[in-house]
Amino acid sequence: MNFFQAQDNARKNTFRLVLLFALAVIGLILLTNLFLLIVYVFATTNQLVFSPQALYHYYTWKEFTLVSLGVCLFVLGGSLYKIQALSGGGPAIAQMLGGQLIPLSTRDRQQRQLLNVVEEMAIAAGMPIPQVYLLNETSINAFAAGMTPSSAVIGITKGALQRLDRDELQGVIAHEFSHIANGDMRINIRLMGILHGILLIGLMGYFLFRSLRFSGRSRSSKGIGGIAAIAAIGMGLMIIGYAGSFFGQWIKAVVSRQREYLADSSAVQFTRNKDGIADALKKIGGTANVGSYLDSRAAPEYSHAYFANGISGFWQSLLSTHPPLDERIKRIEPAWDGKFLPSEIRPDRDIDAVDSAQRDFSQVAVTAAVLTSVEQAISQVGTLNEQNIEYVHQLIVALPGALREASQDPYSARALIYAVLVGLQKDRNAAQAVLENLADPDLSALTLTLLPQLITLEARFRLPLLELSASALRELSPNQFVQFKTVVEQIIASDQSVNLREWVVQRFLLQQLDEYFGFRKPIKAKHANLEVVRNDVQIILSLIAHIEHREDDGAGAAFNSGAAQAGLAPLEMLAGTAFKLSMLDRALDNLMLLRPLVKPHLLRACVATIFADGKPTTAGIELVRTISTCLDCPMPPLRSAEPD
């Protein structure tokens, strides 16, 4: 299953869930009605009546409608509330589970290694780097949370960090990345919402029942009948609510177990390394006393997102959100002998050798995959491979030390971005004047120190560096982010003109950060074909054609080949002078509304445009990658055939 198919399935599954939800609510309404009716009849006649005819006698449409409305409102309200609360993004969920953010500037070696693994994998996949949370638990487990790649986070237990080696960590993280890339979290959050709505009825009953205990004495004069009725209503609602949520959980578990196998196999596909993830699973099995169980109170609710079963209990086999360990291991490694691995807490000093710059590159330097065909580029979206991960690893190691260090901390990451932008200005003096007006003179000094290194930086380092910095900038407070944004805009505007490179930096960076800080709402796909966004496709393809053929006159041919691929011919290329960046922004905003299965057509058209003459340029590839990142279609680093 490719990336787009998985995304689309996730969307369709959501539709099925809504249907299921409607059925569940109707069932609940009927049950609640029946139940209240029995209580009502009992309270008025002191007789327990169960036969429908007799009950019908006491009942009118008005009451039925009222009760139904009440239940609907209740369940719907509960669900919407929960969905809304969980949509707050990954950080909210990670914190609910008791996670502590690992600061990017951490000096703990185990944490450093983990962050390195996550960074490499994210950049290799072309996804924004997620924040990583540490759960203070001794068991071995991990989770991914968040609605969109930009707001996704990864959490991992301390036990996993201490007991797994680098390859195993990589396997576990790849598993979580697959959850992020496949859009599993969206489905899960909706499922949790629905379950919550149903559970709310049970909770309501519970509160009613409890309230009797406190008010029992004061209300004794009101008569036993009233209290008994309330007690009965409470009990009944509890039973209905809990039974309902039991079935809900069962459905959730069935869906979730399927996604786990998918994530496992993707992890193997991403890392080309069966042993990593298989050994991690074996270690969970072999660490019987701690296993993968979590103590957090919120753990059961979020069980589906973990790496392995996070909760234990009587209903485990039925309600388990994860397939049994041995079954999972056997699917990865059919020849497994059934022996789990013991795990020990790694001493700190053993960790590092592989992570530092001294890593021994005995093999020939790895490069990113060369872009050889349109299809190859599209098939890479949303996947990872060992070669790319290794390439990114070497890329990061080869980054000038000062830049790498600056990208690891929100304070200096700002200076890094300012420097990138100042370097792109026509009039650097005007841009430096903006810097001098900054409140913090040390920051502008730092910016100027970094500037020369950025001006001479090789093109292939540029996007990864932006991605690394974006990750550090998430640690800003909202106020600081707003200030940062203002300065970015001032620098860009300082020379009275905005060129495409600046626009790319701004868009690439601010779109994900805006989404992360909640200044930009996650979008809902609605356009089902490219025809609707014809004008926007025209703008984007024209732009790509002009960038690709800045130095020769092949733009027209390139554009036509892209337009043909998009199936929108006849389409006319816009003149190179006709662009306004506001126009580009709007076009991209519209294209973001495309449905998952339409997006590959657009990307194919974009790639076809740079590929028309068989020689895509680095600038063209970078632009297409930026566009695909904005569309939430993570495209891994690709290399042009031309020498760098």
Partner 1 sequence: MEISSIVFFVILGIIVIYLVSIFNQLVALRNRFKNAFAQIEVQLKRRYDLIPNLVETAKGYLKHERETLESVIQARNTASDNLSAAQRNPGDASSMQGLGQAEGNLTGALGRFNLVVEAYPELKANETMQQLTEELTSTENKVAFARQAFNDQVMQYNIYKQSFPQNILAGMFGHALDASLLEFEDSAEIQAAPKVSF
Residues that bind partner 1 (CB under 8 A): 36, 40, 63, 66-67, 69-70, 73-74, 77-78, 81, 85, 88, 92, 95-96, 100-103, 105-107, 200, 204, 207, 409-412, 440, 442-443, 446, 475-480
Residue among 220 and 477 whose Cβ is closer to partner 1: 477
The token duo for 370 is 């060369």
109-125 and 166-181 helices, crossing angle to 10°: 40
**CA dihedral in degrees (462, 467, 471, 474; nearest 10)?**
90
Structure-token match 């707003």, residue found: 482
Q: How far apart are CA 248 and CA 583, in angstroms?
A: 46
Q: Which residues contact 373 (CB under 8 A, 6 or more apart)?
A: 611
Nearest-approach distance from CB 91 to partner 1, in angstroms:
8
Q: How far is the CB of 37 from partner 1 (least distance, A)?
A: 9
- Rounded to whole angstroms, the Cα distance separating 364 from 370 reads 16
Q: H-type helices in 555-633, by residue range?
A: 555-566, 581-591, 599-611, 618-630
Got the DSSP string for 11-23? HHHHHHHHHHHHH
- Nearest approach in angstroms of CB 479 to partner 1 is 5
* CB closer to partner 1 out of 54 and 69: 69
Type and span of the H or E element at 154: strand 153-157
Q: Which is nearer to partner 1, 28 or 573 (CB)?
A: 28
Query: How many Cβ atoms sit within 10 Å of the Cβ of residue 274?
Result: 13
Q: Which two tokens stand for residue 120?
A: 């490499």
**Rounded CA separation 58/49 (Å):** 11
Residue type, 591: L
Tell me the longest C-alpha to C-alpha distance in the chain.
Answer: 95
* Contact assessment for residue 264 and residue 175, using Cβ atoms and an 8 Å cutoff: yes
Shortest CB 476 distance to partner 1, Å:
6
Q: Which is nearer to partner 1, 107 or 524 (CB)?
A: 107
What is the helix, strand, coil percentage profile of the chain, to 5?
65, 5, 30
Residue 541 amino acid letter: L
Q: Is the peptide bond before 323 cis (omega within 30 degrees of 0)?
A: no
Minimum distance, C-beta of residue 233 to partner 1, in the bound complex (Å): 10
Q: Residue 81 or residue 261: which is nearer to partner 1 going by CB?
A: 81
Considering the candidates 176, 502, 548, 622, report the single residue annotated as catalytic.
176
Quick check: is 176 catalytic?
yes
Alpha helices in 46-108 (DSSP H): 52-58, 61-87, 90-96
Residue 290 buriedness (CB in 10 A; 0-12 / 13-18 / 19+): middle
CA dihedral 414, 415, 418, 423 (to 10 degrees): -150
- By beta-carbon proximity to partner 1, the closer residue of 63 and 613 is 63
The SS3 of residue 132 is strand
CB of 211 to partner 1, least distance (A): 10
Q: Which is nearer to partner 1, 322 or 485 (CB)?
A: 485
Closest by alpha carbon to 589, among 513, 524, 531, 497? 524
* The pair of three-digit structure tokens given for residue 62, joined into one six-digit string: 């008005």
Nearer to partner 1, 350 or 442 (CB): 442
Output the CA–CA distances (angstroms, integers) from residue 149 to 166, 217, 303, 512, in the order listed: 24, 55, 20, 9
The total of other beta-carbon atoms located within 10 Å of residue 618's CB is 16
Single-letter code of the amino acid located at 264: D
Task: Find the shortest distance in angstroms from Cβ 461 to partner 1.
Answer: 22
What secondary structure does DSSP assign to 206-270, as a single string?
Answer: HHHHHHHHHHTTTTGGG-HHHHHHHHHHHHHHHHHHHHHHHHHHHHHHHHHHHHHHHHHHHHHHH
Task: In angstroms, give the least distance from the CB of 238 to partner 1.
Answer: 15
| Cβ at position 30, least distance to partner 1 in Å | 15
Q: Which is nearer to partner 1, 73 or 528 (CB)?
A: 73
Cβ(248)–Cβ(193) below 8 Å: no
Angle at 630 between CA 94 and CA 147, to 5 degrees: 25
| Residues with active-site annotation | 176
